[in-house]
Amino acid sequence: MRCMIFVKATADSEAGVMPTPDLLAAMGKFNEELIKAGIMKDGGGLRPTSRGKRVRFSGTNRSVNDGPFTPVEDQVAGYWIWEVKSIEEAVEWVKRCPNPMPGDSVIEIRPEFDAADFA
C-alpha cells in the first residue's frame, strides 16, 4: 500500500523558521532508516504558503490566489511517499519519527487509491 505522509504546518514553518542542525540530522537518520527498509519512495520539505499559489476551478473559469493560506494547521510543510504493508505499519514508522517541528506538531497518513479501488 502506498501512503502519503503529510507533516502539517505550524506557525514556525509558515514563518519560514528553518529546522535546527540537530533536527536535520535526526530527520536525515530517520529517512535513511526508511530507505534501508524499502519504505521511503520520495519526500521533501515545502516552502511556506506565502510562496505558493492556488488555482481555483469553477466550471471553465480559473482564478489564481496568492498565499499565505489559512488556517495554518490545515497546510502542509513536508511530505513522504511510503510503500508499506498496512496503515498500521505506517503508524508505527511515524511514531518513530523525530518531532519535525520545534513545538507540537501533527503528521497525517493518507493511503493512496489503487487500481482495484476503481474496478
pTM of the model: 0.92
Structural domains in the chain (count)? 1
Beta-carbon contacts of 41 under 8 Å, excluding residues fewer than 6 positions away, are: 2, 80, 81, 82, 83
Contact by Cβ (8 Å): 114, 6: no
Contact by Cβ (8 Å): 62, 56: yes
- pLDDT of 66 above 90: yes
Q: CA-to-CA distance for 50 and 69, rounded, in angstroms? A: 7
How do residues 20-58 score in pLDDT, each as one tens digit?
999 999 999 999 999 999 999 999 999 999 999 999 999
All three cell numbers of 13: 514553518
Q: CA-to-CA distance for 73 and 81, rounded, in angstroms? A: 20
Give the domain CATH number at 90.
3.30.70.1060
Q: Give the domain extent around 113.
A: 2-118
Burial 58-68 (b: 16+ CB within 10 A, else e): eeeeeeeeeee
Instruction: Please provide the average confidence, as pLDDT, over all residues in the chain.
Output: 97
- Which residue type, as a one-letter code, is found at position 97? C
According to the model, what pLDDT value does residue 36 have? 98
- pLDDT of 119 above 90: no
